[in-house]
Structure 1
Amino acid sequence: MFDCQMDGETENQMKPLSRKNRIALALLLGGAVLIVLVLIARQLMGHLGETTASTARKLGDPIPVQVSRVQRGDIDEVLGAEGTLVESQSLTIQSEIAGLIREMPVQVGDSVERGGLLLALDPAVAEAGLVSAREQAASARTKLALNQKKLDRLRGLLRDGLITLDEVEKAELEVVEAQNTLANVQARLEQARHDRAATRIVAPAAGVITELVVEKGVAARPFADLLVLAVTEPIHFEFGINQEKIGAVREGQAIEIRLQAYPGRIFTGKLRLIKPVVDDKTRLAIVQAELANPGGELRPGMRGLATISNRASGLKVPAISIMSKRDNVAQVFVVDAQGMAQLREVKMGLQGGAFVEVLEGVAEGEQVVVVGQAGLQDKDKVRIGDEYAPK
């Protein structure tokens, strides 16, 4: 009987579950598994510090972040920009007098020193004019001397009562006329000397010939263009700088330039001009630096890289804390004493290495978020992990 009862109980226990019971059991087991998985996931995410802002917000947990304190110190910023050497001036050379071009020793692309011959006109006409002016000047000086001698003699006779005053006054007028004549002749002589010198046209500055308008053998007309000289001593380096950095450069500031044509060499100069207009498309302001070029080795068209160094001492934050940068204004998250993230607008200064200078918006010692900003919102509750220490 005992065996039979046991068989009956066993048979009763092994009886299949109803459909309703099977569903209930499945739900129970599924819920248990889900709870275990959530607990494991939360533990893993908490351990790894990888909880996203949206996930933490859904779970009602503080959002994990890393912070760094606003500190005071030096910031070294180096601005770099590509640019091109350009002439400091472009001079159109003209002749002051008419004449046949007898010599023209330069060609396009030639370098010339200050005072170097550009072209020479036939001097025959100018020399003839100079000879004539000299003769006229000599004659005028002789006549003035004779008239002055005559006046002195008549004044003596007047004192002795031998002549009338009218004769002396007439002699005085003759002296004045002779003086005026000599002055006019002297002016013509100076002009003749100038015209003779003007037959040799020389470079007013060191540079490169960029255009020839005339050629040897043709007649030059007064004040007609002869050639174009690009002045290269000094020479200028022209480049563009972002509008947000205009305040970081100033005229007279030192600059270093590395040219592709001279690898390994550094040329130094000073900023001479910051153009007041910013290009609408590139948002760049054009800047010019001036370099000495006594040997003429630097030529217009050479390309290179300009670097300008700045140093400031003030408040700074890690560069990775900066968000939504526009010109010199950006945003950062600051964690307050209650562990709440506050979105702040800050005004930036220099940017060097791992740090950015902050001129306005934060105070020394405040904590800014450097890791975990993605998805973070103003007034979010945060949980601070290890403090970030940029090098």
Structure 2
Amino acid sequence: MRLRPALLSIAALSLGAFSACAPDTATEEVDYRVPVAAREVVAGTVEDLIVATGTLRPPEVASLTVENEGVLRIGRSGGRRLAEGDQVSAGQLIAEITGEDVRVAARLDATRQRHATTLVDFESKRRLFAEGLITKLELQQAESALADAQAELDRSVLTNTQTQLVTPVAGVITKLARDASGRPLADGQRVSPGVLVAEVAPSAHADCRSRPSLGGRWSPQR
């Protein structure tokens, strides 16, 4: 019967030891507060710079087409052949049409010579008529011949002028010497009447078409 108190003592000691080894389950509170800086809000413009790419398209262009069949030769600037994107001035030669066909069509030398001869004959007939040495009919015939020679010379000059493709406006060459498929034409290429040789966009007028991103201020770039 004396064993019971001893057993009770052992049990009490075991409980005490277990209590001493048990972890403390209490937790500390964590402070999640973050420092925040504040300032007074004022009225103003919110602006964001947007860089956008686009295409400049002129509202109008000057078109230069072939009037007489011949051989194409592109104009030069600074010792090199003109190219798309070049700046040109009003009256500048963009291309010319050369060749035997053009020379025959113009016949400029022959018509000039004929006009000069007819003019000399008319002046002579006019003096003779003033002196009463020829009739008025002869003078009228000489006058008619001179008018015909002048008309022929004018046509030759016009034909020769049409071989010189000159831009009427200052601007930028947007298209130069391309065939129907868009391939470049080389110097010496034979061209027919109606072929578009060049297009020149006036530099003073151009529309910019682009798609900038959302929001902000648009700053176009060429």
Matches within 5 A, 1:1-391: 85-103=56-74, 105-122=81-98, 125-126=102-103, 129-154=107-132, 171-205=135-169, 206-211=171-176, 212-213=178-179, 214-222=185-193, 224-237=194-207, 259-261=219-221, 302=222
- Counterpart secondary structure, 2:187: coil
Q: Which amino acid aligns with 1:133?
A: T
> C-alpha displacement at 1:132, in angstroms?
0.5
- Counterpart secondary structure, 1:191: helix
Structure showing greater relative contact order (alpha-carbon pairs closer than 8 Å, 6 or more residues apart): 2
- Counterpart secondary structure, 1:85: strand
Q: Which amino acid aligns with 2:91?
A: G
- Runs (5+) with no aligned partner, structure 1: 1-81, 156-167, 240-256, 262-301, 303-391
- Counterpart secondary structure, 1:217: coil
- Paired with 1:98 and 1:87, the residues of 2 have a C-alpha distance of 30
> C-alpha displacement at 1:238, in angstroms?
5.6
Aligned partners of 1:93 and 1:228 also within 8 Å? yes
> C-alpha displacement at 1:177, in angstroms?
1.7
- Paired with 2:199 and 2:93, the residues of 1 have a C-alpha distance of 12
- Counterpart secondary structure, 1:120: strand
CA RMSD, 1 decimal: 3.2
- Runs (5+) with no aligned partner, structure 2: 1-51, 76-80, 180-184, 210-216
Distance 1:228-1:201 versus aligned 2 partners, 3 A rule? closer
Q: Percent identity?
A: 20
- Paired with 2:95 and 2:86, the residues of 1 have a C-alpha distance of 13
> C-alpha displacement at 1:123, in angstroms?
6.0
> C-alpha displacement at 1:119, in angstroms?
1.4
Aligned partners of 1:92 and 1:225 also within 8 Å? no
Aligned partners of 2:64 and 2:166 also within 8 Å? no
> C-alpha displacement at 1:231, in angstroms?
0.9
- Paired with 2:200 and 2:123, the residues of 1 have a C-alpha distance of 52
Distance 1:230-1:198 versus aligned 2 partners, 3 A rule? closer
Q: What's the counterpart of residue 333 of structure 1? A: none
- Paired with 1:207 and 1:112, the residues of 2 have a C-alpha distance of 6
- Paired with 2:122 and 2:143, the residues of 1 have a C-alpha distance of 6
- Paired with 2:146 and 2:129, the residues of 1 have a C-alpha distance of 17
Q: What's the counterpart of residue 374 of structure 1? A: none
- Paired with 2:87 and 2:218, the residues of 1 have a C-alpha distance of 22
Q: What's the counterpart of residue 6 of structure 2? A: none
- Counterpart secondary structure, 2:203: strand
Q: What's the counterpart of residue 50 of structure 1? A: none
> C-alpha displacement at 1:136, in angstroms?
0.4
> C-alpha displacement at 1:216, in angstroms?
1.9
Aligned partners of 1:111 and 1:209 also within 8 Å? no
Aligned partners of 1:88 and 1:234 also within 8 Å? no
- Paired with 1:184 and 1:258, the residues of 2 have a C-alpha distance of 64
Q: TM-score, normalised on structure 1?
A: 0.33
Q: What's the counterpart of residue 14 of structure 2? A: none
> C-alpha displacement at 1:259, in angstroms?
4.3
- Counterpart secondary structure, 1:192: helix
- Counterpart secondary structure, 2:90: coil
Aligned partners of 2:167 and 2:200 also within 8 Å? no
- Paired with 2:208 and 2:98, the residues of 1 have a C-alpha distance of 41
Distance 1:202-1:258 versus aligned 2 partners, 3 A rule? farther
